[in-house]
Structure 1
Amino acid sequence: VDRTKKASMVAGVFDSVAAKYDVMNDFMSMGIHRLWKRYTIDCSGIKSGQKVLDLAGGTGDLAAKFSRLIGPAGQVVLADINHSMLSVGRDKLRDKGVVGNV
């Protein structure tokens, strides 16, 4: 597959699964992704008031956890190449009340 087609195909896959990505992640990893996310948070050393850049953050699971750690004085920047994943993440974060510092 040539590069331009490959990029389009990958984007299409994430566009099509964005709304169900979190459920699929639980199913396909048998919940193990929750352990590595907890490990990531634990190893980060992030403290209240700091700034966090969550690259390839998808639907914002880590961003939500970092948001709670850094509090209102901190800031999380959530970035992902796929607009659909970010849209789902934005809605999910709002539904969880994660606003203001993400």
Structure 2
Amino acid sequence: MAIKKQYLKSKPVCKVTFTVPAEEAKKVAVVGDFNNWKANKASALTKQKNGNFKGTLELPKEGTFEFKYIIDGNYVNDDQADRYQWNDFAGSENAVLEL
């Protein structure tokens, strides 16, 4: 898994590209408190020819966001996250993205 951050000078946002190696998966989405944990068209990652799923979101600069991937219905943390944080509602740790 990989997370690439690109800070824009023209806008107060950061383009965050999420890459998930999941050759056998049918659907992968990234959900978090930035999209109310909703898997929808905007949060879906696109399958690449090499088997990775990839997608880019614009998120506000200087924010901290909890997130997970949904890979074929299973919630998975990113091993490249900035840190992890316990979430009582989920009953598990969530990956955290710090911008």
More helix by share: 1
Of the two, which has the highest radius of gyration? 1
Query: TM-score with structure 2 length normalisation?
Result: 0.27
Query: TM-score with structure 1 length normalisation?
Result: 0.26
More strand by share: 2
